[in-house]
Amino acid sequence: MVLKVFFPQCCNRADSGLMVGRWIPSHESAVVLAVIHYPFIPGQVKVYLQQMRAQSGVDLCILGSWSLPKEEEEGMESFLQDLSTIFPQRRWLQVRRTLGRTGFTCQVACRDQGEKEKDEEEEKVIFVHYEQKKVMQSQLHPIKESNSQSESELRQVFQTVASSGPLFFMDRYDDGPLKSTHWQTEGREASILVELLRQASTPLCILLTWILTVCTSVCDLRMFRFYPLSFLCSKLSSCVQLSYRAEHMRMLSNRNAAMQHQHFMRKANVLLSVMVDVALGLLLMSWLYRDQNITTLSNTVLPAAHRVAKELEELLQWLMGAPAGLKMNRALDQVLGRFFLYHIHLWISYVQLMSPFIEGLLWYGGLSACLGLSFALSLLSDAVALFTFHIYCFYVYGARLYYLKVYGLSSLWRLFRGKKWNVLRQRVDSCSYDVDQLFIGTLLFTVLLFLLPTTALYYLVFTLLRLLVVLFQGVLHLSVDFINSFPLFAVLLRLLRPYRLAEGVKFRVLCEEEGSALHLLMEMNPLSCSAVVQTYRTPTYSCYPKDSWSALVKKLFVGELIYPWKHKSTKTD
Amino acid sequence: MMEDETFTDISGKPITLDCHSHSSFCREFNISSPKVSIGKVMVYTCSVWLVAYAVFFFTQNTAFLSSAIIITLVGMMFYIHFVKVDHESLLVIDSLGIQVSSTYASGREITTFIEMSKIKDIVINEAVYMHQIIYYLCVLLKDSSEPSVVSSVVPLFESSKPRLNCLVKVYKSCQEILSKCQ
């Protein structure tokens, strides 16, 4: 078996001393975490190790000795060799390096005599050089939370380095009895921004919690529980978006720091997405409130509504005549056409009534964009839904009529052939009808059949209109969904610090010399951008169509009402 | 210790196999494909531009010329960055794992490292493709929970497609190392 020693790059030029680290038993490998320099007192080293073991929870031990002899130190080799008796280990590594040569040599001394007899030849050693800072901060994907011993070797190495934080607190400016070399020897790294954020976060969290409690107490008023308002609130996408963001704020204002990687990434993504959302909303507001844009917009609403009403009236007049050369049933045509025309007349008078208030509404509605662009977009989608309510009504009327007709036709068709639908057995059975039943059934069947083209045409026209509106609303919802779920922090991290999100590692063979062991350099293999987005997407109340295309077409054909954008409730995972 | 040999791939183009033995338990195999030939590039570019110029001659619209230039440039960049593989390498390290990497003509490298605990074996498989039978080298992976079941197959040297004589050499070399640790 080949012995693998994971050696940190920062210790390549460390002074002679003892190597501290951990053995990974099942894979015949050792991870070197730091080098404690000569001079030291072995008793103090043991005490220090015990302290570190307790603080970090990692099974640290002295792996062996490291010697990089300089001119003055001659007796170093023998001294370090004698140390193997003081620190009892099953295996003792003696790593030697001479200045001027890049390769290390390693000798493994086994404690048990029995093992020594088995391996007559020298044990083969591989030195894997790793950059300690990068390995410590990186996270291997796919993320597994288990802490079992049967994990792969690389995961155990990463875990060992990541949990050994307390070992890296002692730097060379400390006046302690021991001096060690590791990645923070030159001084502990910290960022001013992070420290400032940490200080500012506590009062901010308290403020946020207070605001949220006020808002939730308002929302929990009794009047919102009763049927009309609660139904309305569940249908309006702006209310849904508001509750979704409130959920996020609640998660952010939680003062406990995120312990696990997933939790931390989720918090960071949400925070960044909320900030970008608010920034875009403020940008929209700055455009809206300048140069009388609101007045221009509100002045176009009334003419646009008139135009839409006129187009619809023309459409209905066309249907009431002979549309596309088809001959309609005059009476039904007139009834349906006049009914819909009256509906449009009602709607246009409603819009005219509302017209003086539109500018005010736009002004106050635009203020809501300060909560975020997603909120403004969902408000727009709700406004579109309200303004095209008449199209929705037309669609429902047409669809219901058509559905009843198709249902009646299919049932009477069965009667025409002498069959009946057995509800109990859910199948078609034969049935003997009386003569008068057959007579009336056939009459009704004929009537319905000849009225079918008229109803079908009205249904087709209004379904197409409704689908147009649904498409527009869908685009708005998809963009809101994108703003909600895109993991901006994760993508930025992947672009700026690619070693933090690692898919795996890659090895490179470093230059070899005669007589030295094999040296490899271990680097992080960063995760691809698409995998980053997939892993760290924030779950949303996604509104993807719940029917497949074939089911949708079938529903349209039969006349069932379609609700293509159905909101899923957010479930916390 | 380095060895350099020329073989052919399954379509007859010459490829080079480079075996490098870093130590007794670490070997690297590099298969390089032929580079992009300047003659072919010139032929394609000239034909696209001639066609664009002919269209311009008839319609007098400069948009054709600029779009031809843009298409040529973008197409070439796309080709050397995403399509043309310069060399593929296989690094076998005893008791650590196998690293497979392919380098594109623009220098982009895609690397995958497979740990030894996941590797069941390296074998040469045959595949029937239309009217020919091709051989390819692949790594059989296993799940640590079920060591006797092959969970997936990773083909090696997919773009270079060497023939059997080259594959046999690589196979023998790999098996020398793998048989020692398993």
DSSP assignment, residue B111? Answer: E
Question: What's the gap in Å between the CA of A31 and the closest CA on chain B?
Answer: 14
pLDDT value at B81 more than 60: yes
Q: What is residue A573's predicted lDDT score, i.e. its pLDDT?
A: 35
Q: What is residue B56's predicted lDDT score, i.e. its pLDDT?
A: 92
Residue A513: what residue type?
E
Q: Do A150 and B144 touch (CB under 8 A)?
A: yes
Binned at pLDDT 50, 70 and 90, residue B55 comes out as very high
Tokens of A334: 């007139």
Asked if B21 reaches chain A (Cβ–Cβ under 8 Å), the answer is: no
DSSP assignment, residue B35? Answer: P
Q: Do B25 and A518 touch (CB under 8 A)?
A: yes
Q: Do B117 and A518 touch (CB under 8 A)?
A: no
Tokens of A553: 């077409």
Question: What's the gap in Å between the CA of B95 and the closest CA on chain A?
Answer: 6
Q: What is residue B141's predicted lDDT score, i.e. its pLDDT?
A: 93
Among the partner-chain residues A1, A504, A520, the one whose CB lies closest to the CB of B112 is A504
Asked if A2 reaches chain B (Cβ–Cβ under 8 Å), the answer is: yes
Residues 133-162 of B with CB under 8 A from A: 144
pLDDT value at B88 more than 50: yes
| Sequence ranges of the domains in chain B | 2-36+84-181, 38-82
**3-class state of residue A258 by DSSP:** coil
Residues 512-571 of A with CB under 8 A from B: 512, 518, 520, 525
- Positions in chain A short of pLDDT 50: 113-120, 569-573
**Which residues of chain B have a CB within 8 Å of the CB of A506?**
99, 101, 111, 113
Q: What is residue A116's predicted lDDT score, i.e. its pLDDT?
A: 42
Q: Do A126 and B93 touch (CB under 8 A)?
A: yes
Q: Do A504 and B23 touch (CB under 8 A)?
A: no
Q: What is residue A120's predicted lDDT score, i.e. its pLDDT?
A: 42
Residue A488: what residue type?
L
- Mean pLDDT value of segment B11-35: 89
DSSP assignment, residue A34? Answer: E
**CATH classification of B2-36+84-181 is 2.30.29, yes or no?**
yes
Dihedral Cα A254, A259, A260, A265, nearest 10 deg = 50
- Give the distance from CA A402 to its chain's centroid: 42
Q: Do A128 and B95 touch (CB under 8 A)?
A: no
Handedness of CA A337, A339, A340, A343 (dihedral sign): positive
Burial class (CB in 10 A: 0-12, 13-18, 19+), A536: buried
Residues 433-472 of A with CB under 8 A from B: none
**A465: nearest Cα among A304, A310, A312:** A312
Q: What is residue B167's predicted lDDT score, i.e. its pLDDT?
A: 93
Q: What is residue A117's predicted lDDT score, i.e. its pLDDT?
A: 40
Which value does ipTM take for this structure? 0.85
Q: What is residue A114's predicted lDDT score, i.e. its pLDDT?
A: 43
**Which residues of chain B have a CB within 8 Å of the CB of A150?**
144
**Which residues of chain A have a CB within 8 Å of the CB of B110?**
none
Q: What is residue B74's predicted lDDT score, i.e. its pLDDT?
A: 95
**3-class state of residue A1 by DSSP:** coil
DSSP assignment, residue B118? Answer: G
Q: What is residue B140's predicted lDDT score, i.e. its pLDDT?
A: 94
- Evaluate whether A378 touches A238 at the Cβ level (below 8 Å): yes
Which of A121, A128, A150, A520 is the best residue to mutate to test the B interface, defined by the most B CB atoms within 10 Å of its own CB? A520
Dist. CA A541–CA A43, nearest whole Å = 60
